[in-house]
Structure 1
Amino acid sequence: MHRQIFLELLSVFVLCAGSLLTLLLIGRMLQLRELLLSQNLTFWDMLCMFAYLSPFFLLLLIPIACMLAVFLTFLRMGTDLESVALRASGVSLYQMLPAPLVFCALCTAAACAVSFWGVAWGMENFRATVLDMARTRTQLVLQGGVFNRDFPGLTIYAQQADPARGDLRTVFVQDRTHEGVTATILAPTGHVNTDTDRGEIIFRLQNGRIYRQEASGLSVVGFDTYAVRMDLSRLLSDYDLGSVRPKEMSWERLHELRDAPETVQDESGRTLRKVEVEIQKRMALPAACFVLGLFALPMAASFGGLHRHWGLMLALGFFLFYYTLLSLGLSLGEAGVLAPVVGLWLPNALFLAAGVTGLVQAARERGVDIVGRLGHLLRRRPTAEEGGRAR
Structure 2
Amino acid sequence: MKLNNQKRWGKVWSAAAGLIIYNAFTAVSYSADNWQFPNGAVFKESGKIVWEGEIINRKEVPYYSGFASDVIHGKVISTVSNSYWGVVDGYHGVVLEPGIILTFSGKSNASTRGYNVLVEYQYKGEPKASSTQNDVYINKDSWIYKYEAILDRNNTQDRISGDNTYRATNLQVALYISDSVKPNTYSYSGDVNLEVGNMRVYLNNHLTFKVAPPIQCTINTPPKIDFGKVNIWDWKGNTSGTPGGNRKDVLGVVDGNFTINCTGDNGAHTPAKLTLKGTIQTYTNDLKMTMDATGDLAPATVRASIKSIFAPCNNGGTQFGPGTKTPPGNEVDLGELTVGPHQVPYRFSLCALGQGFKSGAASATATVTIDWE
**TM bin (shorter chain):** under 0.3
Work out which structure has the larger RCO, using CA pairs closer than 8 Å and 6 or more positions apart in sequence. Answer: 2
Greater strand fraction, Structure 1 or Structure 2: 2
Greater helix fraction, Structure 1 or Structure 2: 1
- Per the normalisation by structure 1, the TM-score is 0.26
- Per the normalisation by structure 2, the TM-score is 0.27
